[in-house]
């Protein structure tokens, strides 16, 4: 089957690579020429485990093509897959990139097309796109058939290839049954269990995407709220997590407390659904709480650092491990590390940071900041530092040599935003340890003081 994918961002690249892998002839259209030239050589701009290998493999097999030629892409695919960004701008979801692609498809198509949207869009967008395409074709005097499908992605950065190859469910928002057989044929290789394809109306599918991300964000914020209560009561949130996670009704995923969620989806989608709800006169109190708790949690490490150093951070130096918003990605969008560093800099502090994959991204954002030093490994960040901060739970941070940490730091103090370490062990080895909701953590002292 011939498929065209518009957008060589995170979703577009994963979609292109995976569809090529199952045998589709895929053309990926991207308007950034420099990016396309690199992609044609198998060089990608983001880190996702397994993605570059999949792209290079299918480039060699001539199953995958990257181009800036939009008309070629429109002519090529029966399936026109839109995977462009829909960022939050000025408190509104900006879907102009989606509309731009839709308009160009409608103005240039010469035969039947299935316009399949992967991009997250506000509720009601698919209906507007259907009417828009119909209007453009009428103005062109073209009696062409087409179908609009909303097919949201549910990828997790760091495991996107596996998520795409082995989805738990595949959602389709449609307004007629014309495209169902083709969609079933396209996605059959991904259906490893019965009834994994779910067809519904446009609006239900659009809200399903928002509801899924908001539910996951809610679990994280709920757990952070419990962690804050654990500090007050002198309980250990890690034991609580095990206790509630063993209940199948709750489950073990997304109940890890920490220094807040980030990335391109959760913050944007929670905020986006809040804004859309307000347009309809509804105030989503739970979503407001989810967002407010996350903002507070992103500021938590900074507050603990202020408390420990008695608000005197001027000329202090901090070792920071982890810059990406989560492990196994180089994505720093809405990362807790960025908010923390900016708060430290505002107080006159310096940061020596290391991340296994996100160094280039951070250097581009903060390239003129003299208060940031990017180090070549985690140990080098410790030199002359007043304390160690953990923001991202990369596996290489799990079992450090605490003797080296203690010998290099000016003060044996660790602020652990991901609860990687055992508070009791560190306390017994002469460290002051601040975790998130840990019973043996110094964080409790702040609440009691």
Q: Is 86 annotated as ligand-binding? A: yes
Q: Is 152 annotated as ligand-binding? A: no
Q: Is 298 annotated as ligand-binding? A: no
Identify whether 265 is a catalytic site residue.
yes
Q: Is 157 annotated as ligand-binding? A: yes
Render 103-160 in DSSP notation, one character per residue: HHHHHH--S-EEEEE-S---TTHHHHHHHHHHHHHHHTT----EEEEE------TTSH
Q: Is 390 annotated as ligand-binding? A: no
Q: Is 366 annotated as ligand-binding? A: no
CA distance 441 to 433: 6
To which residue do tokens 């006169």 refer? Answer: 281
Q: Is 239 annotated as ligand-binding? A: no
Please name which of 314, 384, 383 lies closest in space to residue 344, comparing C-alpha atoms.
314
To which residue do tokens 């250990």 refer? Answer: 236
Render 396-415 in DSSP notation, one character per residue: GGSS--HHHHHHHSSS-EEE
Q: Is 262 annotated as ligand-binding? A: yes
CA distance 340 to 351: 10
Q: Is 444 annotated as ligand-binding? A: no
User: Are 422 and 259 in contact, with CB atoms under 8 Å apart?
Assistant: no
Compute the residue count for the chain: 449
Q: Is 257 annotated as ligand-binding? A: yes
Query: Measured in whole angstroms, how far is the alpha carbon of residue 405 from the centre of its chain?
Result: 31
Per annotation, catalytic residue among 265, 338, 391, 442: 265
Write phi, then psi, for 80 (nearest 5 degrees). Answer: -110, 100
Q: Is 305 annotated as ligand-binding? A: no
Q: Is 155 annotated as ligand-binding? A: yes
Phi-psi region of 360 (alpha: psi -120 to 50; beta: other; left: phi over 0): alpha
Q: Is 282 annotated as ligand-binding? A: no
What residues form DSSP beta bridges with 320?
A: 353, 389
Helical segments of 259-418, H only: 266-279, 285-298, 300-308, 336-346, 359-365, 402-408
Q: Is 254 annotated as ligand-binding? A: yes
Q: Is 154 annotated as ligand-binding? A: yes
Instruction: Provide the annotated binding site for substrate.
Output: 154-157, 209, 254-258, 262, 326
Instruction: Provide the annotated binding site.
Output: 35, 86, 120, 154-157, 209, 254-258, 262, 268, 326, 333
Instruction: Provide the annotated binding site for NAD(+).
Output: 35, 86, 120, 157, 268, 333
Positions marked catalytic: 265
């Amino acid at each position: 089957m011939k498929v065209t994918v518009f957008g060589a961002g995170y979703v577009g690249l994963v979609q292109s690579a995976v569809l090529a892998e199952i045998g589709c002839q895929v053309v990926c259209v991207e308007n950034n020429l420099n990016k396309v030239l690199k992609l044609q050589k198998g060089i990608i701009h983001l880190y996702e485990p397994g993605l570059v290998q999949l792209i290079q493999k299918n480039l060699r097999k001539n199953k995958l093509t990257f181009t800036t030629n939009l008309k070629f892409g429109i002519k090529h695919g029966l399936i026109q897959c839109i995977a462009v960004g829909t960022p939050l701008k000025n408190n509104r979801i900006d879907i102009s990139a989606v509309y731009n692609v839709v308009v160009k498809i409608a103005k240039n198509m010469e035969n039947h097309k299935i316009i399949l949207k992967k991009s997250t869009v506000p509720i009601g967008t698919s209906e507007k796109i259907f009417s828009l395409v119909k209007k453009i074709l009428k103005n062109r005097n073209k009696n062409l058939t087409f179908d609009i499908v909303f097919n949201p992605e549910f990828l997790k950065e760091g495991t996107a290839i596996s998520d795409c190859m082995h989805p738990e469910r595949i959602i389709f928002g449609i307004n007629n049954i014309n495209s169902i057989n083709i969609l079933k044929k396209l996605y059959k290789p991904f259906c490893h269990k019965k009834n994994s394809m779910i067809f519904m109306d446009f609006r239900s599918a659009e809200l399903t995407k928002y509801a899924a991300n908001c539910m996951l964000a809610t679990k994280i914020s709920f757990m952070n709220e419990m962690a804050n209560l654990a500090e007050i009561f002198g309980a250990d949130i890690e034991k609580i997590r095990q206790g509630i996670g063993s209940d199948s009704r709750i489950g073990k995923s997304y109940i890890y407390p920490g220094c807040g969620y980030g990335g391109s989806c959760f913050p944007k989608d929670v905020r986006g659904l809040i804004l859309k709800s307000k347009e309809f006169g509804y105030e989503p109190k739970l979503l407001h709480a989810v967002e407010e708790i996350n903002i507070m949690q992103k500021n938590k490490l900074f507050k603990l650092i202020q408390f420990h150093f008695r608000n005197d951070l001027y000329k202090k130096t901090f070792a920071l491990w982890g810059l990406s918003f989560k492990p196994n990605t180089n994505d720093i969008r809405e990362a807790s590390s960025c908010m923390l560093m900016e708060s430290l800099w505002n107080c006159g502090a310096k940061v020596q940071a290391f991340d296994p994959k996100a160094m280039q991204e951070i250097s581009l954002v903060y390239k003129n900041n003299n208060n940031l030093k990017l180090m070549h490994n985690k140990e080098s960040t410790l030199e002359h530092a007043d304390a160690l901060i953990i923001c991202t739970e990369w596996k290489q941070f799990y079992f450090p040599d605490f003797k080296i940490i203690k010998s290099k730091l000016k003060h044996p103090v660790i602020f652990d935003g991901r609860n990687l370490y055992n508070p009791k062990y560190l306390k017994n080895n002469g460290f002051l340890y601040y975790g998130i909701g840990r019973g043996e953590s110094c964080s409790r002292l702040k609440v009691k003081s």
